[in-house]
């Protein structure tokens, strides 16, 4: 059964001026859409076609004969997760149990921000920065290309796309400016808190 490109949770111009409609046209409309199309073409009429994206990611990770499937499945998943982790007028600070857990595991909210910023800035080339639950502990990680925490038995709570296609039209080579904007005014902490609560359920 073909996997469908999920609808964006907001209008393509809703994140302006932090992320432009033109970036969304390419990033969501072309790049994300292409990962979905490629994934569907690769798994069509194979046993992988009946699995969820998460199952495909786990099943094909480290399988040399399935690199293309893994890359497109993970990129399809990563982008949907990325869109849901941000919103117009996002940012600020989390509250409740998630806020307490961040302080417990990182020392402070500022320490989390520094770690997340660092992960995004030091991911060489294309990839992702993540906030994950790893055996019950919050951690900041980074992955290259399509790689995804699900393949490493971690539970993703938030991701930041640091592929150039995520920021180049708006920030050119200034990845640190994109990262600051992402952290300060785009993160949808309600979404992160929801994922955190679900991981404990
Ligand atoms: Zn992307």
Which tens digit of pLDDT belongs to each residue from 12-60?
Answer: 999 999 999 999 999 999 999 999 999 999 999 999 999 999 999 999 9
Whether pLDDT at 200 is above 90: no
Output the pLDDT for position 2: 86
pLDDT single digits (tens) 64-109? 999 999 999 999 999 999 999 999 999 999 999 999 999 999 999 9
Concatenate the DSSP letters of all residues of 88-138 into one string: TT--S---HHHHHHHHHHHSSHHHHHHHHHHHHHHS-SSEEEEEEEETTEE
- Ligand 1 centre from 100 Cα, in Å? 30
Q: Is residue 22 a contact partner of residue 165, using CB atoms and an 8 Å limit?
A: no
Global pTM?
A: 0.97
Q: In what order do the strands lie in the sheet with 127-134?
A: 137-144, 127-134, 155-161
Q: Is residue 62 a contact partner of residue 68, using CB atoms and an 8 Å limit?
A: no
For residue 93, give both structure tokens.
């600070």
Output the pLDDT for position 64: 94
- Ligand 1 centre from 147 Cα, in Å? 12
For residue 137, give both structure tokens.
């502990």
Please report, for the chain, the start and end positions of each structural domain, with discontinuous segments joined by +. 21-84, 96-199
Share of the chain above pLDDT 90, in %: 98
Report the alpha-carbon angle 91-77-8, nearest 5.
55
From CA 159, how far away is CA 26, in angstroms rounded? Answer: 19
- Ligand 1 centre from 169 Cα, in Å? 13
CATH number for the region 21-84 comes to 1.10.287.990
- Ligand 1 centre from 96 Cα, in Å? 30
- Ligand 1 centre from 135 Cα, in Å? 27
- Ligand 1 centre from 104 Cα, in Å? 31
Q: Which CATH superfamily is domain 96-199 in?
A: Iron/manganese superoxide dismutase, C-terminal domain (3.55.40.20)
């Amino acid at each position: 059964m073909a996997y469908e490109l999920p609808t964006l949770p907001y209008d393509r111009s809703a994140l302006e001026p932090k992320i432009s409609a033109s970036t969304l046209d390419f990033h969501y409309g072309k790049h994300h859409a292409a990962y979905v199309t490629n994934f569907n073409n690769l798994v069509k009429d194979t046993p992988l076609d009946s699995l969820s994206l998460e199952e495909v990611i786990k099943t094909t990770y480290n399988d040399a004969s399935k690199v293309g499937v893994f890359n497109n499945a993970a990129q399809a998943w990563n982008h949907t997760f990325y869109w849901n982790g941000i919103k117009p007028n996002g940012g600020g600070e989390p509250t409740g149990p998630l806020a307490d857990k961040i302080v417990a595991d990182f020392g402070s909210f500022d320490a989390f921000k520094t770690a997340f910023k660092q992960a995004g800035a030091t991911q060489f080339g294309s990839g992702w920065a993540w906030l994950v639950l790893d055996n019950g502990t919050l951690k900041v990680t980074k992955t290259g290309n399509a790689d995804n925490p699900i393949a490493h038995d971690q539970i993703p709570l938030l991701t930041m796309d640091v592929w150039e296609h995520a920021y180049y039209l708006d920030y050119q080579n200034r990845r640190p400016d994109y990262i600051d904007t992402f952290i300060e005014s785009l993160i949808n902490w309600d979404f992160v808190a929801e994922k955190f609560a679900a991981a404990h359920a």
